[in-house]
Amino acid sequence: MTTARDIMHGDAKCVGADESLASAARMMRDLGVGALPICGADDRLGGIITDRDIVINCVAEGRDPASTRAGDLGKGKPLFVRADADLDTVLNEMMEHRVMRMPVIDNKRLVGMISEADLARNLSGEKLGALVEAIKSGPADRVT
C-alpha cells in the first residue's frame, strides 16, 4: 500500500507563526513554492499560508506585510493527513476540502507536504481529474 509518507516532499520548511508575511513571501520565493506550513516554536503545525492569502488577505486589504504575522492569517484548525494514510484517504481529504496541498503529520509533527503534482505521479488520470474538478467547483473557503 502506498502511503502519504511514500509520495510526500519530506523537506517541507515552516514559516514561524510570529514571522512577518514579508518574510513568508521571501521564503516562498527562495524555495519556489506557493504555500508554507505555519509552525510554532514546538514545530507543530498551526496552519498553512499561501501566496494568494498574502495578496488577498493582506496586501489587497491595505495591511502591511512587514508587520502582519503569518499566524494572523493561518487561523483555524489546520488540515492534515497522517503519514501512514493511504492514497485514497489523501485524495478524499484533498477533494473534500478542495485543497491543492496537504501537510503530512507523524507523532504530532510536520514531516512533509503533498501537492497535486505528487498525486499526479501516483494516481490514475480519472482520480486526478476528480481532484481537479473538486478543487475548482464552487467557492472554497480555503484553497491551499
User: CA-CA distances (angstroms) from residue 127 to 48, 85, 96, 102, 119?
Assistant: 25, 17, 13, 17, 9
Quick one: pLDDT at residue 43?
Answer: 73
The class of domain 4-136 in CATH terms is alpha beta
Percent of the chain surpassing pLDDT 70: 93
pTM: predicted TM-score of the whole model, two decimal places: 0.81
Query: How is the chain split into domains, by residue range?
Result: 4-136
DSSP 35-57: EEEEE-TT--EEEEEEHHHHIII
CA–CA separation, 31 and 22 (whole Å): 14
Segment 107-116 shows an average pLDDT of 89
Q: How confident is the model at residue 75 (pLDDT cuts 50, 70, 90)?
A: low
Span 37-73, pLDDT tens digits: 998 877 788 889 999 999 999 999 999 999 999 998 8
